[in-house]
Amino acid sequence: MGSRNVIGRLAAGLMAAVLVLVPATGISADVRPVPAPARPPLAGQIVGIDPGHNGLNYTNPAYLNHKIWNGREWEGCDTTGTQTAGGYTEARFNWNVAVYLRADLIRMGARVVMTRTGNHGLGPCVDTRARILDRAHANVSIDIHADYGPSSGRGFTVLEPVADGPNNKVIGSSMRFGRDVHAMMLRDTAIRVSDYYGRNGYISRNDLAGLNLTTMPKVLLECGNMHNAAEAALLVRPGVQRTIAAALAAAITRFLAGR
């Protein structure tokens, strides 16, 4: 009888433990469905980035000067770009912003196509850059530049295409994308609209191969004036370059979302 009492007490204790661990409604009550990973906002999108010029363009004037067809007229293959009074080149600035932007876009799920692979090369010509992005079937593209304006002038300008054949079908969408770029630059950066170029931060251009030959929505952004000492001091800072890239990523996301 003593051993049976011990076994009985052990069995009762085990049953009580089970009752504590298992809810009265059954084990399935504690099983929660695992939420599916959130879909990145730019998953399935292809984004083109054209960082203007290149770090060694200055080494080969003959290459830069040979003529290409920009969709409306003949122009030079490319230029060296500008630089600050301290020698910080536009090509370097454009590349840095593009690299930050590419990283942001990849984190957001996009496939990114660049028109050059570094800042220690020559070219490619502006018509080739347009073809690289067109052949990639990018959903949207951005050309990144900085300007050389009057030393007293400051601000960014969004350059928009004019209907010129290949780009006829994307003029309206390019203008909508330009509005998104304009809005996000104002929201996310300290750079204001240009006070010397365009009107309220916009200008239409029909003489640029990148805009004339595009088959997807595209604008060119002059991020600021490297000839202005105060603005140049901002543009060379990595933190400012990152904020410009973040503003462009936000503009691209907003545009592709249709907002």
Q: Which residues are catalytic?
A: 222
* Cα atoms in the 13 Å half-sphere on the side-chain side of 165: 11
Q: What is the dihedral of CA 246, 116, 153, 182, to 10 degrees?
A: -40
- Give the dihedral of Cα atoms 258, 51, 112, 247; nearest 10 deg: -40
Q: How far is Cα 126 from Cα 67, in angstroms, rounded to an integer? A: 10
Strand arrangement, sheet containing 157-161: 111-114, 46-51, 140-147, 218-225, 157-161, 202-205
Cα distance between residue 26 and residue 28, in whole Å: 6
On the 0-12 / 13-18 / 19+ scale of CB atoms within 10 A, 188 is middle
Which ranges of 68-202 does DSSP label H, i.e. alpha helix?
A: 90-107, 126-135, 171-188
Length of the chain: 259
Identify which of 214, 253, 218 has the alpha carbon closest to the alpha carbon of residue 145.
218
